[in-house]
């Protein structure tokens, strides 16, 4: 991982993208302070795996929740009101 100034990142953006595509992570500094990190994109299979795990956690949590049925209206009433 290395750092570059915002001005240098602007001038050398194509070069930075090449470095990142080869696995490098680059931190962009503005006035000496880190403001952004450019890193390789997550490949599809890793992202899909993360989404699958997150979905499973959400469904497990929802399974334990009671179903809220606090409706005091009917579908016909909604249509009558034009909603």
Place of tokens 């006035």: 31
Q: What CATH code is assigned to 1-65?
A: 3.40.1620.10
Please compute Rg for the chain using Cα positions: 24
pTM equals 0.53
Measure CA 70 to chain center.
Answer: 33
Query: pLDDT for 48-65, tens place per residue?
Result: 888 899 999 999 999 888
User: Dihedral through CA 49, CA 50, CA 54, CA 56, nearest 10?
Assistant: 10
* Tokens found for residue 62: 């929802």
Query: pLDDT for 19-48, tens place per residue?
Result: 999 999 999 999 999 999 999 987 777 778
């Amino acid at each position: 991982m290395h750092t570059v100034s915002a001005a240098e990142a602007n001038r050398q953006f194509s070069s930075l993208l090449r470095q990142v595509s080869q696995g490098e992570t680059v931190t962009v500094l503005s006035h000496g302070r880190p403001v952004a990190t450019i890193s390789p994109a997550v490949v599809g299979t890793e992202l899909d795996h993360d989404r699958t795990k997150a979905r499973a956690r959400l469904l497990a949590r929802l399974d334990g929740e009671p179903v809220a049925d606090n409706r005091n209206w009917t579908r016909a009433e909604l249509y009558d009101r034009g909603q």
